[in-house]
């Protein structure tokens, strides 16, 4: 049964020190407000999982919440580099960051395996690349029918998944639409899940392209209007492309990032 509570309480319930946690959202519906609350609550030693660790993970990494990053593309989309991510990888600041690096297809299938209750998934992936040499998550597997060699990847099981959605009803059924990414898979891969929403409504009227997560797979719902900013929520807000560009300057050096962080924690 879903607990509907405040964002601070929900984050405290769902995200714990040392967790393997995914904040998902493929450009759209990124749960920034929940990420900021994790920073405020001072979580540490997180293994952060995300296909595209963009600005939200730059912030969590810069704030020292992360010990490890599992990902497939770490950049500021349409802008450039993630400076806090680079500083952590290149100089160990504010703390060393272990990385486990995959391709998008590998990551997506690792979520699919976990959501499906399987220990692994099969794909044609990463062939001819240096990725397998630097990852324990890519192994060959032979088709028992054709003898063909393919790629096996292990399930990406999560302690916690955090996603943002347009809305929930009072039972905790969740509805999201537009680009829905791997959010369903992330929630179904997790022991605990938190969904922040733009609004809570009496009835979820059907919407074209919507994914519905029934309440019995959602642990916590928290109202967080605008909680995807600077990402967006289709039908509620537009992407704040200017902020993504400003982030390049904010994050470029440790001092200006420090000011941003103090402002957030005030």
Partner 1 sequence: MNYSADEMMTVAAARALRDRAVCFVGIGIPSTAANLARRTHAPGLVLIYESGCIGAKPTSLPLSIGDGELASSADAVVSVPEIFNYWLQPGRVDVGFLSAAQLDRRGNINTTVIGPYASPEVRLPGAGGAPEIASGCRSVVVVVRQSLKTFVDGLDFVTSAAAPRMVITDLGVLEPSPSGELVMTSLHPGVSAADARAATGWDLAMADDLGVTSPPSPHELDVLRSLTHR
User: Residue 43 or residue 184: which is nearer to its own copies going by CB?
Assistant: 184
- Choice from 47, 52, 196, 251 touching partner 1 (CB under 8 A): 52
For residue 58, the minimal CB distance to its own copies (Å) is 30
Q: Nearer Cβ to partner 1, position 97 or 261?
A: 97
**Residue 110: enclosing H or E segment and its boundaries?**
helix 104-115
Restricting to residues 156-175, which ones interact with partner 1 according to CB under 8 A? 173
Distance in angstroms (rounded) separating the CA atoms of residues 221 and 5: 6
Residue 7 vs 155, nearer CB to partner 1: 155
Q: Which residue from 13, 201, 207, 217 is in contact with partner 1, where contact means CB under 8 A?
A: 217
- The Cα 23–Cα 121 span in angstroms is 22
Residues 6+ apart with CB under 8 A from 61: 48, 53, 69, 84, 85, 88, 97
Of residues 55 through 94, those in contact with partner 1 by CB under 8 A are: 71-75, 77-78, 81-82, 85-86, 89-90
By beta-carbon proximity to its own copies, the closer residue of 11 and 138 is 138
- Taking the C-alpha atoms of residue 65 and residue 38, their distance in angstroms, rounded to an integer, is 8
In the list partner 1, its own copies, none, the entry touching 129 (Cβ below 5 to 8 angstroms by class) is partner 1
Neighbours of 17 (CB within 10 A): 12
Which option in its own copies, partner 1, none does residue 89 bind, with CB closer than 5 to 8 A by kind?
partner 1
Residue 115 touching partner 1 (CB under 8 A): yes
Of the candidates 92, 156, 94, 88, the one whose C-alpha atom is nearest the C-alpha of residue 119 is 156
Residues at the interface with its own copies (CB under 8 A): 116-124, 139-141, 143-146, 148, 150, 152, 154, 206-210
Residue 227 interacting partner from partner 1, its own copies, none (CB closer than 5 to 8 Å by kind)? none
Q: 40-61: string of b/e by CB count within 10 Å (b at 16+)?
A: eeebeebbbbbbbbbbbbbbbb
CB under 8 Å to 116, separation ≥6 — which residues? none
């Amino acid at each position: 049964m879903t607990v509907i509570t405040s964002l601070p309480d929900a984050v405290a319930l769902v995200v714990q020190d040392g967790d393997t946690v995914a904040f998902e959202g493929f450009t759209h519906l990124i749960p920034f407000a929940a990420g900021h609350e994790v920073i405020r609550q001072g979580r540490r030693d997180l293994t952060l999982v995300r296909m595209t660790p963009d600005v939200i993970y730059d912030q969590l990494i810069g704030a020292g919440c992360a010990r490890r990053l599992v990902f497939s593309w770490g950049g500021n989309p349409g802008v450039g580099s993630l400076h806090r991510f680079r500083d952590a990888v290149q100089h160990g600041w504010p703390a060393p960051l272990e990385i486990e690096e995959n391709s998008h297809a590998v990551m997506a299938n690792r979520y699919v395996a976990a959501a499906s209750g399987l220990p692994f998934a099969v794909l044609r992936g990463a062939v001819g690349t240096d990725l397998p040499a630097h990852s324990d998550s890519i192994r060959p597997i032979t088709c028992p029918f054709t003898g063909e060699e393919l790629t096996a990847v292990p399930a990406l099981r999560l302690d916690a998944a955090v996603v943002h959605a347009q809305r929930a009803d009072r039972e905790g059924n969740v509805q999201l639409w537009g680009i829905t990414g791997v959010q369903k898979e992330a929630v179904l891969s997790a022991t605990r899940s938190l969904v922040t929403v733009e609004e809570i409504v009496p009835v979820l009227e059907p919407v074209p392209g919507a994914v519905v997560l029934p309440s019995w797979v959602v642990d916590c719902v928290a109202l967080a209007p605008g909680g995807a900013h600077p990402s967006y929520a289709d039908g509620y807000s537009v992407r704040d492309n200017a902020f993504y560009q400003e982030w390049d300057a904010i994050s470029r050096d440790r001092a200006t990032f420090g000011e941003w962080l103090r402002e957030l924690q005030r």
